[in-house]
Amino acid sequence: MSSISFDSSLDPILSRRAAIQKIAASSIARRKVYSKVAISVCLLCLVVALIPLVAIITYVAAKGIPAWNADFFTQVTKPEGIPNGGVWNAIVGSLIIDGIAVAASVPFGILGGLFLAESDGPAAAAVRFSADILTGVPSITIGIFGYIVWVKTVGSYSGFAGAFAIAIIMLPVIMRAAETAIRGVPVTLREAGLSLGARRSTVARRVVLPAALPGLLTGVLLAVARGAGETAPLLFTIFGNQFFQANPTKAMEALPQAIYTYSSQPYNDLIQIAWGAALLLMVVILVLNVGSRLMAARLRRERR
């Protein structure tokens, strides 16, 4: 019996349900059109954003591939008119300069990021603000800074001076990436460490940093990609060197420097080498970017 009286009390709800379902069903066609339009606009924006990227890659590849041969990778740069020139000196120079820059900026960057992530004080805010400003400083300014602080002081252009300038470029990138990676470590892990009687430094070293490793590696590789492509900081610091030079206390060659130097020469064979070097640099940076993502994804997968 109660069931019957029940039904009538449900009436307003049933009728509202019917009304709502009718409106939902009648508006679904319109909503689907809106949805299609929105997705089309997104796709259009995606295409517009991709056009410059694809255009640059294909253009540089088309121009640069003809320069790639055995000599290009194994010979030093030759003066115009002399065949079989390459960028071996620039490749070695870039490896050494960027290697030193990474070695110098990674410890400061990661420790700085750890400080930013673990401290809420005014000092951290100041450091974070400085890092953000540093990211935005024009790279030519950092080149001049490197020139005054290192080249003028030491008295000569050198690979070390270039590495110094590149490290300054990399530092804020690593620091902010490290901060993000470390902040991503769940608070409960930190608390679990502290609750076992570990000091904060122990927790940071044994729990937090290992857990943040995928993010840290990604940050470092992205910083390398950023630093390896910088030209302006090198122009004022390494001077350029068309001979093979692996001693970082001397003037060196590097890929961005080579591109800059040879692309502004009036000789076709040197311009060709510049295109080849541009393609090489682009490929290295693409590989670093894609590789860092793949590595981070893989590390994350392995840990699950």
Residue whose C-alpha is closest to residue 112's, from 127, 132, 94, 102: 127
Nearer to other proteins, 23 or 123 (CB): 23
Q: Are 265 and 281 in contact (CB under 8 A)?
A: no
State the number of binding residues for other proteins (CB under 8 A).
21
State in angstroms the smallest separation of the CB of 13 from other proteins: 6
How far is residue 292's CA from residue 298's CA, in Å, rounded to a whole number? 10
Which range binds other proteins by CB under 8 A, 2-10, 59-67, 147-155, 284-292? 2-10
Q: Which of 196, 134, 128, 117 is nearest to 170 (CA)?
A: 134
- What minimum distance in Å lies between the beta carbon of 112 and other proteins? 33
Interface residue with other proteins among 1, 48, 49, 70 (CB under 8 A) is: 1
> What is the residue type of 66?
P
Q: How far is the CB of 7 from other proteins (least distance, A)?
A: 7
Of 6-35, binders to other proteins (CB under 8 A) are: 6-7, 10, 12-13, 16-17, 19-21, 23-28, 30-31
CB of 297 to other proteins, least distance (A): 14
Q: For the stretch 32-64, what's the b/e string if a residue is b when 16 or more beta carbons lie within 10 angstroms of its beta carbon?
A: eeeeeeeeeeeeeeeeeeeeeeeeeeeebeebb
Distance CA 101, CA 170 (A): 8
CB of 253 closer than 8 Å to CB of 89: yes
How far apart (Å, rounded) are the C-alpha atoms in residues 301 and 304? Answer: 6
Instruction: Indicate the residue among 12 and 52 with the shorter CB distance to other proteins.
Output: 12
301 binds other proteins (CB under 8 A): no
Tokens describing residue 241: 């060197």
For other proteins, the closer CB: 33 or 123: 33
Q: Which residues within the stretch 30-59 sit at the binding site for other proteins (CB under 8 A)?
A: 30-31
Integer CA distances (angstroms), 268 to 69, 82, 85, in order: 16, 12, 12
Tell the smallest beta-carbon distance from residue 42 to other proteins (Å).
17
In angstroms, what is the minimal distance from the CB of 197 to other proteins?
29
Task: List residues binding other proteins (CB under 8 A).
Answer: 1, 3-4, 6-7, 10, 12-13, 16-17, 19-21, 23-28, 30-31
